[in-house]
Amino acid sequence: MPRSLFTLVVSTLFSLAQATGVSAETLVLNNVGASPLTNDRGTGFLDVIGKEAFRRNGIKLSLIKLPAERGLSNANAGIDDGDFLRVSGMEKLYPKLVQVPEKLVDMTFVAFANDPAVRVDGWGSLRNYYVGFIKGWKILEKNTPNGTQVILARDAEQLFTMLEKRRVDVVLYSRLMGLEIIRRRKLAGVRDLSPPLAVRGMFIYLNKRHQALASKISYALAAIKAEGLYDAEYGKVKAGLGMTE
């Protein structure tokens, strides 16, 4: 079936379900993201994109907040329906998870510091510092060199509090989400360090019982990008952070 026809059929079926009072199925996914990508009001960049991709398949998306490690475990066990925002390869660690093939977003991982003398150039340079990151963020756990002095945080707020109080020299986090915390908390002197440690595609994962849905969500995400909605919403993020790049 041509993609345009498939999208039309899915949208029509969903509209008919609404009109006849049939409630859409709800899937619950854990979400480790934060503003400006996602927020509690459901109006963040990825809230809009993710919910639209599920809506086009007649499904309501509900995002919850659990600690990163527990969220993956719950999704793998089928307690929840999946995980919203993870790097590729999670299915190797959690074999009951299925990756939605279409990328949700590229995430830039950087070090943040408030000491002008701190210099980070690649993962190996982290050995020189006390480093903080959130427990359960697999890309950071995997790539931080052995022997690095690491202090784990339960969430981003605790992470940046550790940096503010000089309990660590650097913290590792998403560039966009970190810049939003700096803006909101007015953390004078805290800066993101260049070059980035990594840029990775982030994906939606579903429990295997929803395996048939993965390709459909993938197609919906691709269509949203092609239609221009994705770029429009991402533009709002950059404008809010004063980014020109």
What domains appear along the chain, each with residue ranges and CATH number? 3-105+201-240 (3.40.190.10), 107-198 (3.40.190.10)
Q: Report d(CA 170, CA 34) in Å as an integer.
A: 19
Lowest mean pLDDT among 13-27, 199-213, 222-236: 13-27
Lowest mean pLDDT among 18-32, 103-117, 118-132, 150-164: 18-32
- Residue, of 237 and 220, whose pLDDT is higher: 220
Position 238 scores a pLDDT of 83
**With contact defined as beta carbons under 8 Å apart, do 52 and 229 qualify?**
yes
Helix (H, G, I), strand (E, B) or coil at 122: coil
Question: What percent of the chain has pLDDT above 70?
Answer: 90
Position 24 scores a pLDDT of 77
Instruction: Give Cβ neighbours of residue 237 (< 8 Å, ≥ 6 apart).
Output: 36, 37, 45, 176, 243
